[in-house]
Each structure stands twice: as structure tokens, then as C-alpha cells.
């Protein structure tokens, strides 16, 4: 039975790890040039919190800095990410195109619901042509609460969706599904944590497994 499938972007469709470290290194090098940072780049800490809204990211990585510096860091980081995407340094996970094609052909309505910023998501969608399969891409920026559960609810309400599943790699995706009465599919990819995936209804190691679940 055709239904709506809401995909996370980072760590689910897009291999963020391919550009994350270089963009984070660039950002903290910039902060060092401003004399706002002197230690090493907290890459591992960011990996651990992947999937949380960006304000939380910078509160975590820069706990002793002002909101102004956090905003400066985020702006520089986003620009670096987009540059790397446009230069072809990023990549989708294996089989994204063929799986999305098959799901769409089967009648499923496909959406992206992400904690990423609008411009960043659009860069990925445009570079990889995801709009050939995805009806609409939503950013957490479009929701005042900055909460993915509310973002998913917004999509459900806008499109009058009753049957759906959320597919993502982190707890925010699983909670967004559960709190909206939807199926939660966890992706055991780069940033996933087993303790979080245990709460999903199904767990996949490859996007090809979505064919078994939904076709």
C-alpha cells in the first residue's frame, strides 16, 4: 500500500562524513585566526551529537562562547559545507537514486525532513538531483520550535498524510516517528548509535533493504 516516506538527510541519504571534518577543521581554523579558539578541532564531539539542531551543536562545541561567536562559526561552517558540496566532495549513500526511484514508481510519496539549514539542503538536492524523486525538502529552520517531531507533524498536516514512516539514523528521527504515530526505520550508518537504533521499529544496514520493507 503506497504511503509517505520521510527521510532524514545527514547520515541517511547524504554521506556528511565526507565533508564534515574538512569543513569543521576550516571553521575552527577560522576561529583560531580570530583568537576565539586554541585547542584542537572537536570533531569526535560533533560526530557524537550529529542529528541535533544546529543551535545545540554550537552550544555544545562552543559552550563558553557568546551567541555572536556561535553564529559566526555556524555561518562559516555552512558556507564551507556548501562549497564542498558544489565542488563535488560530498556523496550520497550507495543506491540512493535507484531506491528512491523504485519507491516513487511504487506510488510512495517521498519527503526530506532534516535538521540542516535551508541553503545547505538545497545545495545537496540540486547537486544530486534529488528533486527528481522527492516532493519537498524541509528544514528545521521552517519550524519555530526547532524540533524534528514538530517538523514531521507539519509535513503530515500540510499534505494530509495518515500513513507514513520516518527513515533516519539518529534518535531525533526515531522520536519524530514515534511521537507522530509513525513507523521508525533506523539506518545503521556512519553516525548511528546502537542504543538509539534499539528504539526503531526496523533497522537497515543498506538502503536497498527499504525495498523489502516498502515494495
The answer to whether residues 155 and 190 belong to one domain is yes
22 with 11, same domain: the answer is no
User: Residues 173, 198: one domain?
Assistant: yes
Residue 136 belongs to a domain with what CATH number?
3.40.50.1000
Q: Are 37 and 133 within one domain?
A: no
Residue 111 · residue 138 · CB < 8 Å = yes
Residues 66 and 117 in one domain: no
For residue 49, the model assigns a pLDDT of 87
Domain that holds residue 103: 4-15+91-214
- Specify the number of domains making up the chain: 2
Is the pLDDT score of 171 beyond 80?
yes
73 and 61 in a common domain: yes
Express each pLDDT in 75-114 by its tens digit. Answer: 999 999 999 999 999 999 999 999 999 999 999 999 999 9
What is the average per-residue pLDDT within 52-74? 94
In the prediction, which pLDDT does 100 show? 98
Amino acid at each position: 500500500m503506497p504511503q509517505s516516506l520521510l527521510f532524514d538527510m545527514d547520515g541517511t541519504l547524504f554521506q556528511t562524513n565526507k565533508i564534515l571534518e574538512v569543513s569543521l577543521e576550516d571553521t575552527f581554523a577560522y576561529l583560531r585566526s580570530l583568537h576565539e579558539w586554541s585547542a584542537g578541532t572537536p570533531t569526535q564531539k560533533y560526530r557524537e551529537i550529529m542529528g541535533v539542531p544546529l543551535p545545540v551543536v554550537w552550544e555544545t562545541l562552543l559552550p563558553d562562547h557568546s551567541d555572536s561567536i556561535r553564529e559566526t562559526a555556524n555561518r562559516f561552517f555552512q558556507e564551507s559545507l556548501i562549497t564542498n558540496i558544489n565542488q563535488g566532495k560530498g556523496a550520497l549513500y550507495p543506491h540512493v537514486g535507484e531506491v528512491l526511484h523504485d519507491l516513487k514508481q511504487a506510488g510512495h510519496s517521498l519527503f526530506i525532513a532534516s535538521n540542516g539549514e535551508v541553503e545547505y539542503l538545497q545545495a545537496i538536492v540540486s547537486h544530486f538531483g534529488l528533486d527528481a524523486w522527492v516532493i519537498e525538502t524541509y528544514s528545521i529552520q521552517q519550524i519555530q520550535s526547532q524540533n524534528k517531531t514538530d517538523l514531521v507533524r507539519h509535513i503530515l498536516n500540510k499534505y494530509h498524510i495518515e500513513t507514513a514512516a520516518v527513515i533516519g539514523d539518529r534518535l531525533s528521527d526515531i522520536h519524530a516517528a514515534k511521537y507522530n504515530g509513525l513507523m521508525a526505520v533506523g539506518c545503521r550508518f556512519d553516525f548511528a548509535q546502537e542504543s538509539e537504533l534499539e528504539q526503531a521499529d526496523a533497522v537497515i544496514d543498506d538502503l536497498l533493504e527499504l525495498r523489502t520493507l516498502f515494495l
